C-alpha cells in the first residue's frame, strides 16, 4: 500500500514568516482501505483553523452494545464451553436434550443405559425466588440416568465440538444426585474422531443421596478443536445430573472468553450497553443473580425463543465492563413481561445501594459488598415498536418514564437516565414535552440497508449526512420543549442490514466512519454512540466469535481507529472535495468526509478522512493559526490485501492493520489516501517554551 506525504523542510519552516515555530511533522495515518491506490489520484483539501473550537467531544461518544441474541452472550461473550448445561432443551427420542449425545455413539443398542428428561427432579430442588411474568410457569429439568451392566462397558453422555488446548486447565463441574447408585462417575475430555482416546479424566465417587456439586480440574494432553466433554457412568443404579459446566481457567473478569475480552479491550469502549436491545423488554434481572448454578434458564422471546442460561448476569456484566475500563449502561425493562417501576428501582439499589439496604444486602451476600456505582440507566428499548413487550404510544411511554424515573432516582438520585427516542419526530416531541424535565439522554437508533438503498450503493455512503440534519432538528426540539435542560442524544444502536459479505467489507466501514464523523460534527448534541452489535447476534456483530476463534469486521477496525485517536474538541475545518450523485440521498454529495479534533493533554491533532471515491485522493491538509511546534508521530494503516475481499473465519485478515511512519511538513502537508478508505492523520505537537521554539515534547 502506497501513502505519500509532501511538506516543507525544517529550514523552510524556520524561514517562513507566517509560521516561524513550525519545524517538521510526521503524520500518523490510520487507514481502512478497500484496495491499494492507483497510480493517479484526484485532489481534495482540508483547511483546519486551530484557533476555533466548534464543539466539545463527549468522553462517552464511542461505546459498545451487547445483547442476548443467539450467541451474542452465550457462546460468544461468555466462556462457558457447554451448551444447555441445565438440560432444559427439548429431548430427542432417547431422552437427551439438545446438545447432548449418547456415549460412545448411536451405532448400536446399549441396554445397560437409559435416559429420561426428568421434570420432577432438578437442581436447585426448591426455589425461594419467584419472578412473575404472567406466563405459565415452566418446569425445570435434569437428566435421569439408569445405569447397569451391559455389553458397552464405557458409557454415558457427551457434548461434541468442544475446543480444548493441550496443557491448559479446565474446571469441570456437575451436580449429581444418586438413588441406590454404586460406582463412580468420570468427567473426561476425549477425542471425537478417535473414540476412546482420552485427553484428561477424573473420577468422582460417593454419588448417593441429595444433590451435591462435584468439581475437578482437567488438563488435556493435547489440543483438539473438536473434542468431547463426557460424563461417564461406571456403576449400577439411578443418578441424576444437572448444571454441568466446563470453564477454561483463563476466563476474563465476568467469566468472559479471553480471546473476546482482548478484542474488546482494543476498542477502548467508553461504555457498554446491556442487556439489550429488544431483549431488554423480556429480561428480568433477578433471573441471573446469586450462585451461578441456582440461577434460572429463561426463554428469549425476542429471538426465536432461545433458552438463555443465567450465567452472565448483573455482577458479571459490571465486572466485565469495568475490566475493559468501560462505564456500564443498563437498560431496564419497562412494563414488559410483568416488569414494574419497583423492580427497576430494586435493580438500581442492587447496583448502587449500601450493603445496609435490602437489595444492596443481596449484592453483598453475592460477594460484592461495595456498591457498583452504575450511573447510566436506560428506561426501556424501542417502546414505539410492536415487536417488543411493553409496546405503547408516546404519551403512555412518557408517563411510564416519569414513574420509573421517580422510583429509580429514589434509590439513587445521582443516576443519569436515557429515554427512548425515535427517528419519528412526533414521538420525540411528545416524549420531550411530557418528560423532558427528567431526561438526561434521548436514545435514537439508526438502521439502513438493502431495501432503503434500492440498489444504489451511493445511497449507503451518503445516508449519514441525512442524520446530521436530523440531529439539528432534534437539537431544536430539545431547546423548544425542554428549555434549560442539557439533553444529549445517545445513538446507542446503529448498523446496516446487508448480506454478510458486504457487512464484512469496506462498504460497511465507509458508512460507519462517515456516520462517526457526523457524531463528532454534531458533538454539541450527540454524546453517546454504539454500533450494533459488539459480539455475534447477527452479521452486524463487529466481533464474530465461533467456538474455535474470532474474526473482526472492518467496522470493528474503524471503531478501534477512532477510539485510539479520540479528541476532546472539534476544530473548524473547511473541506474541498469531488462529489457524487445518488438516487435517494441527494446530488453533489462530497466524496471526502473530514473532521479535525484535538486532544490538548496528549498534544495531538487528528484529521479523519473518509474517502468514498473509487479513486485515491491527494488531500492537502493545512492547519492555520497553530501556535505549536509539530514533532514526530507514528503511522497506523488498515488496508485490504489483494485481491479485494471481506473478512471471514476462512480469511480473517482480508483487512489488516499495520503500523509505520510517514514524514510530512508541519502545518501544510499532502497525503495520498487510498480509494474507498478510512484514514486518520495524527499530528503530534508541543507548545514552545519561548519565542525560539524550544519546548518540551508532550507525553
Mean pLDDT of 317-337: 98
Mean pLDDT of 325-350: 98
639 plus 673 within the same structural domain: yes
Greater confidence, 419 or 8?
419
CATH of the domain at 439: 3.20.20.80
pLDDT at 27: 37
Mean pLDDT of 509-538: 97
In the structure grid, which three cell numbers stand for residue 351, read together?
A: 447496583
Task: Indicate the pairing of strand 416-420 with strand 376-379.
Answer: parallel
Contact at 8 Å (CB) between 72 and 536? yes
Count of the separate structural domains present in the chain: 3
Mean pLDDT of 503-530: 96
- Within 10 A of 12 (CB to CB), how many other CB atoms are there? 12
In the structure grid, which three cell numbers stand for residue 183, read together?
A: 460406582
Give the CA distances from residue 388 to residues 104, 136, 276, 383, in Å, rounded to whole numbers and listed in that order.
44, 19, 11, 7
Q: What is the domain range of residue 223?
A: 101-248
Contact at 8 Å (CB) between 24 and 533? no
174 plus 30 within the same structural domain: no
Note the pLDDT tens digit of each residue in 260-314. 999 999 999 999 999 999 999 999 999 999 999 999 999 999 999 999 999 999 9
pLDDT at 661: 64
| Residue 62: partners with Cβ closer than 8 Å, 6 or more residues away | 267, 268, 269, 270, 516, 529, 530, 559, 562, 563, 566
Phi and psi at residue 532, to the nearest 5°: -110, 120
CA distance 487 to 325: 25
Position 21 confidence tier, pLDDT thresholds 50, 70, 90: very low
54 carries an active-site annotation? no
Residue 1, pLDDT > 90, answer: no
Give one DSSP letter per residue of 106-166, joined into a string. Answer: SSS--TTEEEEEESSS-SSSS-S-----SSPPPPP-EEEEEE---S--S-EEEEEEEEE-T
Percent of the chain with pLDDT over 70: 89
Percent of the chain with pLDDT over 90: 82
Q: % helix / strand / coil in the chain, to the nearest 5?
A: 20, 35, 40
Contact at 8 Å (CB) between 190 and 230? yes
Greater confidence, 406 or 8?
406
**Residue 481 forms part of a structural domain:** no
pLDDT at 627: 73
Position 637 confidence tier, pLDDT thresholds 50, 70, 90: low
> Of the given ranges (66-70, 111-115, 270-274, 655-659), which has the lowest mean pLDDT?
655-659
235 plus 265 within the same structural domain: no
- Within 10 A of 190 (CB to CB), how many other CB atoms are there? 26
**Residue 506 forms part of a structural domain:** no
> Of the given ranges (31-45, 152-166, 212-226, 318-332), which has the lowest mean pLDDT?
31-45
Give the residue from 512, 539, 563 where a domain finishes: 563
Position 654 confidence tier, pLDDT thresholds 50, 70, 90: confident
Question: What single DSSP character describes residue 356?
Answer: T
559 plus 618 within the same structural domain: no
Note the pLDDT tens digit of each residue in 218-249. 999 999 999 999 999 999 999 999 999 999 99
- Within 10 A of 483 (CB to CB), how many other CB atoms are there? 8
Give the residue from 214, 248, 282 where a domain finishes: 248
> Of the given ranges (61-65, 217-221, 407-411, 561-565), which has the lowest mean pLDDT?
561-565
Residue 689, pLDDT > 80, answer: no
**Residue 692 forms part of a structural domain:** no
**Residue 175 forms part of a structural domain:** yes
255 plus 395 within the same structural domain: yes
> Of the given ranges (127-141, 354-368, 550-564), which has the lowest mean pLDDT?
127-141
Mean pLDDT of 246-263: 98
Our CA angle for 513, 514, 517, nearest 5°, is 90
Of 67, 327, 349, 382, which is the active-site residue?
Answer: 382
Show the DSSP H helices in 252-387 as ranges: 258-267, 314-323, 341-352, 358-365
Note the pLDDT tens digit of each residue in 448-476. 999 999 999 999 999 999 999 999 999 99
What pairs with residue 376 in β-bridges? Answer: 329, 416
pLDDT at 535: 98
**Residue 96 forms part of a structural domain:** no
Note the pLDDT tens digit of each residue in 180-195. 999 999 999 999 999 9
Give one DSSP letter per residue of 250-280, joined into a string. Answer: TPBTTTB-HHHHHHHHHH--SEEEES-SGGG
Give the CA distances from residue 135 to residues 190, 298, 604, 679, in Å, rounded to whole numbers and listed in that order.
41, 12, 56, 52
pLDDT at 660: 58
Give the CA distances from residue 313 to residues 253, 256, 295, 455, 683, in Å, rounded to whole numbers and listed in that order.
13, 12, 9, 42, 43
Task: Indicate the pairing of strand 416-420 with strand 441-449.
Answer: parallel
493 carries an active-site annotation? yes
Position 687 confidence tier, pLDDT thresholds 50, 70, 90: confident
226 plus 266 within the same structural domain: no
Greater confidence, 557 or 688?
557
pLDDT at 128: 84
**Residue 661 forms part of a structural domain:** yes
pLDDT at 634: 56
| Residue 363: partners with Cβ closer than 8 Å, 6 or more residues away | 289, 315, 350, 351, 353, 355, 369, 371, 372
115 plus 130 within the same structural domain: yes
Position 6 confidence tier, pLDDT thresholds 50, 70, 90: very low
Give the CA distances from residue 554 to residues 257, 541, 543, 559, in Å, rounded to whole numbers and listed in that order.
21, 11, 10, 9
Burial of 456 (0-12, 13-18, 19+ CB in 10 A): middle
Position 695 confidence tier, pLDDT thresholds 50, 70, 90: very low
196 plus 340 within the same structural domain: no
Residue matched to cell numbers 460424563: 231
CA distance 314 to 352: 12
CATH of the domain at 15: 2.60.40.1180
**Residue 91 forms part of a structural domain:** no
Contact at 8 Å (CB) between 274 and 66? yes
19 plus 106 within the same structural domain: no
| Residue 64: partners with Cβ closer than 8 Å, 6 or more residues away | 264, 267, 269, 271, 272, 273, 326, 530, 531, 534, 559
224 plus 337 within the same structural domain: no
Note the pLDDT tens digit of each residue in 568-617. 999 999 999 999 999 999 999 999 999 999 999 988 999 999 999 999 99
Our CA angle for 262, 265, 270, nearest 5°, is 160
Residue 427, pLDDT > 60, answer: yes
Give the residue from 230, 248, 266 where a domain finishes: 248
What is the rounded average pLDDT for all residues in the chain?
Answer: 90
Of 71, 349, 434, 493, which is the active-site residue?
Answer: 493
Give one DSSP letter per residue of 627-672, joined into a string. Answer: -SEEE---EEEEEEPSSP----SSSTTSEEEEEE-EEE-TTEEEEE
Note the pLDDT tens digit of each residue in 154-164. 999 999 999 99
111 plus 241 within the same structural domain: yes
> Of the given ranges (40-44, 473-477, 625-629), which has the lowest mean pLDDT?
625-629
CA distance 164 to 563: 33
197 plus 128 within the same structural domain: yes
**Residue 236 forms part of a structural domain:** yes
pLDDT at 36: 43
Greater confidence, 374 or 682?
374
Contact at 8 Å (CB) between 97 and 303? no
- Within 10 A of 191 (CB to CB), how many other CB atoms are there? 16
Contacts by residues 481-486 (CB-CB < 8 Å, ≥ 24 positions apart): 481/429, 481/432, 481/433, 481/436, 482/432, 482/436, 482/437, 482/439, 485/436, 485/437, 485/439
In the structure grid, which three cell numbers stand for residue 136, read together?
A: 405459565
Mean pLDDT of 633-652: 73
Contact at 8 Å (CB) between 333 and 383? no
Amino acid at each position: 500500500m502506497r501513502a505519500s506525504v509532501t511538506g516543507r523542510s525544517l529550514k523552510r519552516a524556520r524561514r517562513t514568516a507566517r509560521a516561524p515555530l513550525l519545524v517538521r511533522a510526521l503524520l500518523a495515518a490510520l487507514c481502512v482501505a478497500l484496495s491499494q491506490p492507483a497510480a493517479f489520484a484526484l485532489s481534495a483539501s482540508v483547511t483546519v483553523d486551530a484557533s476555533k473550537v466548534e464543539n466539545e467531544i463527549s468522553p462517552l461518544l464511542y461505546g459498545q452494545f451487547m445483547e442476548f441474541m443467539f450467541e451474542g452472550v452465550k457462546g460468544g461473550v461468555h466462556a462457558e464451553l457447554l451448551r444447555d448445561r441445565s438440560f432444559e432443551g427439548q429431548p430427542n427420542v432417547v431422552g437427551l436434550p439438545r446438545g447432548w449425545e449418547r456415549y460412545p455413539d448411536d451405532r448400536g443398542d446399549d441396554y445397560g443405559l437409559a435416559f429420561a428428561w426428568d421434570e420432577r427432579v432438578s437442581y436447585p430442588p426448591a426455589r425461594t425466588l419467584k419472578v412473575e411474568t404472567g406466563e405459565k410457569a415452566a418446569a425445570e429439568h435434569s437428566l435421569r440416568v439408569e445405569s447397569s451392566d451391559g455389553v458397552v462397558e464405557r458409557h454415558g453422555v457427551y457434548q461434541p465440538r468442544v475446543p480444548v488446548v493441550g496443557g491448559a486447565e479446565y474446571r469441570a463441574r456437575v451436580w449429581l444426585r444418586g438413588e441406590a447408585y454404586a460406582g463412580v462417575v468420570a468427567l473426561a475430555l476425549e477425542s471425537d474422531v478417535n473414540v476412546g482416546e482420552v485427553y484428561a479424566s477424573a473420577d468422582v465417587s460417593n454419588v448417593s443421596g441429595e444433590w451435591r456439586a462435584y468439581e475437578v480440574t482437567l488438563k488435556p494432553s493435547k489440543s483438539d478443536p473438536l473434542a468431547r466433554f463426557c460424563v461417564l457412568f461406571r456403576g449400577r443404579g439411578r443418578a441424576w445430573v444437572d448444571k454441568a459446566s466446563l470453564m477454561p481457567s483463563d476466563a476474563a473478569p465476568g467469566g468472559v472468553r479471553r480471546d473476546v475480552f482482548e478484542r474488546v479491550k482494543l476498542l477502548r469502549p467508553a461504555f457498554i450497553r446491556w442487556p439489550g436491545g429488544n431483549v431488554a423488554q423480556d429480561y428480568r434481572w433477578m433471573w441471573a443473580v446469586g450462585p451461578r448454578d441456582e440461577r434460572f434458564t429463561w426463554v428469549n422471546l425476542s429471538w426465536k425463543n432461545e433458552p438463555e442460561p443465567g450465567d452472565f448476569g448483573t455482577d458479571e456484566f459490571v465486572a466485565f465492563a469495568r475490566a475493559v475500563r468501560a462505564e456500564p449502561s443498563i437498560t431496564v425493562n419497562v412494563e414488559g413481561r410483568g416488569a414494574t417501576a419497583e423492580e427497576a428501582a430494586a435493580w438500581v439499589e442492587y447496583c448502587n445501594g449500601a450493603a445496609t439496604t435490602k437489595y444492596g444486602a443481596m449484592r453483598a451476600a453475592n460477594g460484592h459488598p461495595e456498591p457498583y456505582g452504575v450511573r447510566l440507566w436506560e428506561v426501556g428499548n424501542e417502546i414505539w415498536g410492536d415487536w417488543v413487550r411493553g409496546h405503547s404510544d408516546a404519551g403512555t411511554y412518557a408517563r411510564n418514564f416519569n414513574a420509573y424515573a421517580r422510583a429509580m432516582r429514589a434509590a439513587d438520585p445521582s443516576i443519569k437516565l436515557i429515554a427512548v427516542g425515535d427517528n419519528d419526530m412526533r414521538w420525540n416531541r411528545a416524549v420531550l414535552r411530557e418528560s423532558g424535565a427528567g431526561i438526561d439522554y434521548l436514545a435514537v437508533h439508526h438502521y439502513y440497508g438493502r431495501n432503503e438503498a434500492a440498489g444504489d450503493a451511493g445511497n449507503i455512503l451518503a445516508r449519514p449526512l441525512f442524520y446530521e440534519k436530523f440531529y439539528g432538528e432534534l437539537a431544536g426540539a430539545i431547546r423548544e420543549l425542554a428549555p434549560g435542560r442539557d439533553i444529549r442524544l445517545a445513538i446507542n444502536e446503529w448498523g446496516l442490514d446487508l448480506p454478510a459479505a458486504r457487512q464484512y467489507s469496506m462498504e460497511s466501514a465507509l458508512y460507519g466512519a462517515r456516520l462517526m464523523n457526523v457524531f463528532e460534527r454534531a458533538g454539541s448534541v450527540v454524546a453517546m454512540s454504539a454500533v450494533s452489535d459488539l459480539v455475534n447476534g447477527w452479521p452486524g456483530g463487529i466481533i464474530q466469535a465461533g467456538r474455535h476463534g474470532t474474526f473482526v469486521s472492518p467496522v470493528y477496525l474503524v471503531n478501534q481507529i477512532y477510539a485510539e485517536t479520540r479528541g476532546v474538541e472539534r476544530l473548524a475545518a473547511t473541506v474541498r472535495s469531488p462529489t457524487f450523485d445518488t438516487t435517494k440521498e441527494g446530488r453533489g454529495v462530497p466524496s471526502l468526509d473530514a473532521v479535525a479534533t484535538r486532544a490538548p493533554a496528549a498534544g495531538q491533532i487528528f484529521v479523519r478522512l473518509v474517502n468514498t471515491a473509487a479513486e485515491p485522493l491527494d488531500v492537502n491538509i493545512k492547519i492555520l493559526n497553530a501556535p505549536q511546534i509539530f514533532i514526530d508521530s507514528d503511522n497506523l494503516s488498515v488496508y485490504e490485501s489483494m485481491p479485494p475481499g471481506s473478512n471471514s473465519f476462512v480469511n480473517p485478515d482480508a483487512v489488516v492493520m499495520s503500523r509505520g511512519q510517514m514524514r510530512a511538513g508541519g502545518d501544510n502537508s499532502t497525503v495520498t489516501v487510498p480509494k474507498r478508505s478510512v484514514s486518520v492523520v495524527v499530528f503530534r505537537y508541543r507548545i514552545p517554551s519561548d519565542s525560539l521554539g524550544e519546548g518540551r515534547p508532550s507525553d
